[in-house]
Amino acid sequence: VIGHPKYQESRRIAIFLSMPDEIQTEEIIKDIFKQGKECFIPRYKPHSNHMDMLKLSSAEDISSLTLTSWNILQPSDDDSAREEALAGGGLDLIFMPGLGFDKKGNRLGRGKGYYDTYLERCMKHPSGKPYTIALAFREQICESVPVAENDVQVDEILYEDC
């Protein structure tokens, strides 16, 4: 990931905070700050499909985040001091989680459509749609995954030996 050309050229990067069954992103987050890039993480709104990408000030900033009922760390609802990526310069790159992927770029998420609706919002931003990279285990690559018409394909899927 760290040697990937899209990562190297990106300045504003959104990345998920890993759940135990996902590719662990902690070292990537540390590298984002080490390289002087800007790091944004998701804040999901429960009972909706709305998500914002809020800026982290440092890798250590993660310890100040709130644990949701889904066991995901994220900025609290009343945290209004953080920059939302689309209120500023947009994003260059989004690292995306998922449960399953196919080699056509289709992604099976957890069913709420958070990333799909966020990418739709990105497309309306002056900086346009960021490049998207899904981080996966080889076992998550399927022949095909079910898709709906509002699902947005990922640009690239990175997994072991890909």
Residues flagged as binding site for ATP: 107-115
Cα 161–chain centre separation: 22
Residue 91 to residue 130: CA distance in whole angstroms: 6
Are the beta carbons of 113 and 32 closer than 8 angstroms? Answer: no
What DSSP state is assigned to residue 84? B
Which value, in Å, is the radius of gyration of the alpha carbons in the chain?
A: 15
Write down the H helix ranges in the chain. 5-9, 26-34, 114-124
The closest alpha carbon to 118, from 73, 72, 84, 81, belongs to 84
Q: Which two tokens stand for residue 63?
A: 């310890």
Give the position of tokens 């995306």.
96
Annotated binding site: 17, 22, 107-115
What DSSP state is assigned to residue 52? E
Annotated binding site for substrate: 17, 22
